[in-house]
Structure 1
Amino acid sequence: MLQVPRGTQDILPEESYKWQFIEQRLYDIVKAYNYQEIRTPVFEATELFVRGVGGSTDIVNKEMYTFKDKGDRSLTLRPEGTASVARSYIENKMQHNVEQPIKLFYIAPMFRYERKQKGRYRQFVQFGVEAIGVEDPLIDVEVISMLMNIYKSFGLKSLNLKINSIGDMESRSKYNEALVEHFSPRIGEFCEDCQSRIHTNPMRILDCKKDRDHELVKTAPRMYDYLNDESKAYFEAVKSKLEDLNIEFEVDYNLVRGLDYYTHTAFELMSNAEGFGAITTLCGGGRYNGLLEMLDGPSETGIGFALSIERLLLALEAEGIEIPNDKGLDLYICTMNDQARSVAASLLHKLRERYISADMDYENRKLKAQMKDADRKNARHTIVLGEDELNSESVDLKNMDTGEVSRVSFDEIITKLEDL
């Protein structure tokens, strides 16, 4: 028997309503912040992610779905959204837009070949925002405040925002030198990935899931101590503005994020909810001041974050938060004979043209079975079409919650339902 590929899932109707609710909430929030939607291809040139995400990252080295097309071009299913947005920004010359920053968002499937875990899939849906074109602590705070607004809007309370500064390229360079000096004497005690990272991106050793409890990780130099004056001033401004907005946060000096393009502000949101799982990260993001130049674009800066819908659902489950399910019908039409079925089909067409949700029985069942079907479909109102109703061209419209019945003509049904 054919089955869904490992690490993927079918989202059935009894679950899809949750996704629709979340996605609509996200659309409402980004509209309030004046962010516009961008849709990029599901696959891109592999080079985009090698250069944009970083050749030393696990995403590029281990997790990408890469293939050759018939033209022998190397293509990759997108593993994350920022690189694709940056490519589109460059290709479409958005830096010339008079409105800066360019504020974008996306909701799209991403693909990573990784071990399936609770709330983590090889195909997952990511929501992300990017604000490109302005370097200002206020934009950083705006993005973080949107992030917090999203999670709190669903009623989540067990949240812990962690922030750090990775500094500019000058600060990062000095910090990397200090990390190499710190880890090199005992690097053989670390995993193979970390032994490789010390030569490519030593900051990623601090982000290693295997060696995070190693004593050298706990005693590693702090990034903050290697920030130059400009980077420190930027970070202090971000923290000050967050405090002005009463957004609680914790400075985590080991927070470096996993991608090569981050500079200055980096942040992650964690869930402290019992039962959420061993991996507590809900989402993360940060500023990227060199990404566009790495992709042969202009020297524009940006900041953004990305979250997984799957992990948001997991957090809601852990805190016992139910998503409302408004799947009920406005009207269910019960029919008593073939002529009534024909009239019902015509009425359904008119109702649906007015965006009134309605349905009828298609199995020619007895009235009692039809009423049971109306209950299963959570119909708010029902009518019964029989010989008497057809002759009088009127029906009894029944409110299924209150039991109240009102007599309405065929011509009044649509208006009555719209009023209700």
Structure 2
Amino acid sequence: MGLVPSKVAVRRGLSLGVAMALLVGLAACQRASLRKAADTAKPAVSASPAVPGPPMTLAVTPVNATRDVRPAVPVVVTAANGRLTGVKLTTTKGTAVPGTTNPEGTRWTSAATLAYGTGYSLTAEAVDSHNKVKTTASAFTTVTPRRLVYPDMSPLAGETVGVGMPIIINWSRDVPDRAAAERLLKVTTDKPVVGTWSWISSHEVHYRPQVYWPAYTHVTVDIGVGRADLGSGVYGETGRRIAFTVGSSVISKVSNATKTLTVYQNGVPIRSMPVSMGRSAMPTSAGINVVLVKFDQKFFDSASFGLPRDAPGGYYTKVYWDTKFTFGGEYVHAAPWSVSQQGHRNVSHGCINVSTSNAKWFYYLSKRGDIVQVIGTERAVRRGDGYTDWNVPWATYLAGSALH
């Protein structure tokens, strides 16, 4: 039979167990407190000091005190490691010059061409990422040209011309640096065109396509020489933009062999007429001629080409429906006096004689730039006696460019 513990013994055992548990818990609390104290006692790790970024700088072109600045070159202000907050450019008389700033605020560019021989002052301000402000200033003077050159152009603005019309720029004086001028000439078309500029002289430059203009083409010519340096102290007075239209294709072919003029419109023959051209002593100019101008009536004077009015064959008479195609004075015109020879024999002084009705029809059809191609006469058209660009081989014409 086993022994049963007394109640006193049981109570003693319980008391001892509780005491031991309290001691274990107290020891654990003390260890936790010691760890917390140790952690609290550890020194804090300090952050590394911030490294300053590169300094903000401002730059102005042209630099301060520059003289003979080219007016066509924009004024530029740039900010590095900062953002522009204001730029002011004025003439010495206080006239403001507008400008634009890029979205990042790091570059300002003048938006107007400067004047010749004028002093300018510029101030600029910028701020960096620490709100530190920096300012700069510049003063400069633009060049005073030795001479100015102005461009006159054909065709005229808004004109409708034929497929053979070259673009012609006549400068008011010689251009020393042709390449500099040509770089500033731009031709834009709404149909594909391969063309080139070709210099006739230092004061005249032409543009033509490799083949005739496509009919119904819209053309814009930008002559961007305003305030531009064209060499040797010569500057462009002003730039120009001129737009014109190429109309229908009208090409007339005049055959000496058959004594006929055949008109093709947009490639389709629409009329053929008998003609009498220049007699052998005064032949009509063979080659690709271009309509220059036309008159519904005009006095023709033989003295204009050296034949006195009172000499045999001389004349001074009113002639109707005159379409001119050489500077020397060759026309398609009404010649009722030679109707019986038309289609058979050449009797004129170089013009193309047709009947009055045919001359009137041709006059109303024709426009500047239309082609009058004369085939098989005794004399070729002289270069420059009209718009003779199409008689120059393409390789030769291309070589006339200052950029080739």
Q: TM-score, normalised by structure 2?
A: 0.22
Greater fraction helix: 1
Greater fraction strand: 2
- Kindly name which structure, 1 or 2, has the bigger radius of gyration based on alpha carbons: 2
Q: TM-score, normalised by structure 1?
A: 0.22
Greater relative contact order (CA < 8 Å, ≥ 6 in sequence): 1
